[in-house]
Structure 1
Amino acid sequence: MASSYFRVALAQVMPDADSDGYIASAAKAGADVVVFPEMFSNGYSRFDPEDEASQKSWIDAAVELDGTFIDKFRSAARRNGVAVVATFLERGKVKPFNSAVLIDSSGEIVLHQRKRHICFFAIPEEVCAPGESSEVIRLQTGAGEIAIGIMICMDREFPDVASDLVRAGAEIILVPNSSPLVDDVGVGDIRVAGVRAMAFQSVVGVAVANYPEPKDDGRSFAVDPLGKVVTMGGTIQELVIADLDLDHIRATQKNEWFRRVR
């Protein structure tokens, strides 16, 4: 009989980490899915806006959806029998995209999501194009079939993305991230508070994977459908494990149905 718990491994690691090793460790820990931070293909690096060559080099480093970078994660997912959310700067015909893919345990890409609310006002995303829609897929896991959607970083700050995922029946939302979650000098831990509120309003489980210090501040975390923090990591490079209770999510969605009417 399937477990009631969906186990998420949040890979709070830098882009030069042994991603294959972390995926293998997550699988050994019984994870159903491993989530990497935002734009992992280049570590959410930046370029010099005054240097055209620097900007061009950054854009030229974008990777193809069917290229070797994503193939590496597909192979690791297949080899370890675990789903993976891989993130990357995706090559586009005109502009690149800030993208993520959900790869199932057989190595197949089952969801391709482009960040909708790009940081068009800041480097590096000022040269990126936004995505246009959000989808939910039903992922087969050891915990049974689960309705999953993806938000990328700032997408979690806008109600339209959550509303679209709710309308599509999302039970769990996975969030690759790159920003201070607790130690932001300007806003403190408001991003954690925002995710908690979004989870409560949308009645979903949410798991956020962030970069560790010194890039960001770690604190990868997960919340239940009432907005309660289930787990939160530290600031170092680590694998943060979160268990989301599917029975609780589904019972709460039934009881709090009015929150999901858009």
Structure 2
Amino acid sequence: MRVTVIQMNQGSDKAANIAQARRLAEAAIAADRPDLISLPETWTNLGGDRAARQAAAEVLPPQGSGEAGGPAYEFLRGLARAHRLFVHGGSIIEAGGEGGRLRNTSLLFDPEGREVARYRKIHLFDITAPDGTGYRESAAYEGGREIVTTEGPGGVRLGLTICYDMRFPELYLALRRAGAELILVPSNFTLATGKDHWEVLLRARAIETQCWIAAAASWGEYLERGQKRQVYGHSLVCDPWGHVVAKASDGVGWATARVDRALTERVRRDMPVLEHRRLA
């Protein structure tokens, strides 16, 4: 199977972000003919203020109901159906958390346009970056509680995570134990941390789990409450041996790689680390 990670430079205008996602996804599909495309974290909204986040949020239909959703939901479903491929919607902002809180939610649609997986980000980004910028995701968002895997193209088992989750190897081990072969990591990784940690963390998670990693990321500058912030980009696909086999550079665009299940099988056979684990 072929997987494409889309790299966006989204802002706080939801309609413009959907248009950008459509343009990039359709160009990537035409050029590379992937079986699965993945968008970045919160690709419908990055920056602005609390009102912008609330305006971008969507109430999701009951999973598996087939009912209509909001503009982003219907765009993802329509893209999957129109091009007969799996569409991983990175993550969008979901309304409906406890006490009016939001959720950072990944959605996966199959080639029929059916929602086949829904994952809510477990680990919330409450940190101070090396440049002194503070981030408090938990101020607006409610964390998820469940790991999610599902069957993707060609029977490849997919594991769902979002951005900051990558710093918690126990989640990735749980996904491997649940059968994951390819783990999706849509992200808005800060420039300050990304230049030092982005690639090394993703490669480490690939090596530890012997899974493919596909990480679609946002790139560039955006404004949040009038303050300029930067995200790192460098969307990539990594193989189970830890090699980066496709990567986007600066700017909007995409990267595509072929997921080789024979390589996954060989790596796991020759170094059966899951069987050798003793402490976890």
TM range (shorter): 0.7 to 0.9
Q: Which amino acid aligns with 1:107?
A: G
1:77 aligns with 2:72: no
Contact 2:109-2:116 at 8 Å conserved across structures: yes
DSSP 3-state at the match of 2:185: strand
Structure 1 segment 1-262 matched on structure 2, within 5 A: 6-15=1-10, 16=17, 17-28=19-30, 29-42=32-45, 44-47=46-49, 55=50, 58-66=53-61, 67-68=69-70, 69-86=72-89, 87-94=91-98, 95-121=101-127, 122-139=135-152, 141=153, 144-180=154-190, 184-185=191-192, 188-214=195-221, 215-259=230-274, 261=277, 262=280
TM-aligned CA distance change 1:131 to 1:166, over 3 Å: same
More helix as a share of residues: 2
* Alpha-carbon contact 1:8-1:34 (below 8 Å) kept: yes
Gaps of 5+ in 2: 11-16, 62-68, 128-134, 222-229
Aligned to 2:64: none
Q: CA deviation at 1:224?
A: 0.7
User: Which deviates further from its counterpart, 215-224 or 225-234?
Assistant: 215-224
Distance in 1 of aligned mates of 2:245 and 2:194: 22
Cα gap change, 1:132 to 1:168, in 2 (>3 Å): same
What is the count of residue pairs matched by the alignment? 243
| Contact 1:23 1:80 survives alignment (8 Å) | no
| Distance in 2 separating the partners of 1:35 and 1:237 | 14
Tell me if structure 2 keeps the 8 A contact 1:62–1:91.
yes
- Give CA-to-partner distance per residue, 1:104-141, whole Å, 9 cap, x none: 111111110110001145244421011101121112x2
Q: Is the 8 A contact 1:212 1:236 kept in 2?
A: yes
Q: Percent identity?
A: 25
Matches of 1:57 and 1:235, distance apart in 2? 26
In the alignment, the residues of structure 2 paired with residue 186 and residue 72 of structure 1 have an alpha-carbon distance, to the nearest angstrom, of 31
Once the two structures are overlaid, the 10-residue window that deviates more, 25-34 or 232-241, is 25-34
**Structure 1 residues 191 and 259 mapped into 2: Cα distance closer, same or farther (>3 Å)?**
farther
Cα deviation per residue 1:215-236 (whole Å; 9 max; x = unaligned)?
4232111111011111111111
Q: Is the Cα–Cα contact under 8 Å of residues 204 and 249 in structure 1 kept in the other structure? A: yes
Gaps of 5+ in 1: 1-5, 48-54
**In 2 relative to 1, CA 236–160 (structure 1 residues): closer, same or farther, beyond 3 Å?**
same
8 Å contact from structure 1 (residues 9, 31) kept in 2: yes
Aligned-CA RMSD value: 2.0
1:14 Cα deviation from its structure 2 partner: 2.7
Superposition deviation, residue 60 in structure 1: 4.9
CA distance in 1, matches of 2:150, 2:76: 19
Q: Once the 2 structures are TM-superposed, how far is the Cα of residue 57 of structure 1 from its aligned partner?
A: 5.3
Cα distance change of structure 1 residues 236 and 61 upon mapping to structure 2, 3 Å threshold: closer
CA–CA distance in structure 1, aligned partners of residues 148 and 252 of structure 2: 30
For residues 35-94 of structure 1, the C-alpha deviation after alignment (integer angstroms, 9 at most, x for no partner) is 11101121x3253xxxxxxx3553354112232220111011100111111120111242
| TM-score when normalising by structure 2 | 0.80
The whole-number CA distance in structure 1 between the counterparts of 2:36 and 2:263 is 19
Deviation at 1:20, TM superposition (A): 2.5
CA contact (8 A) 2:215 2:237 kept: yes
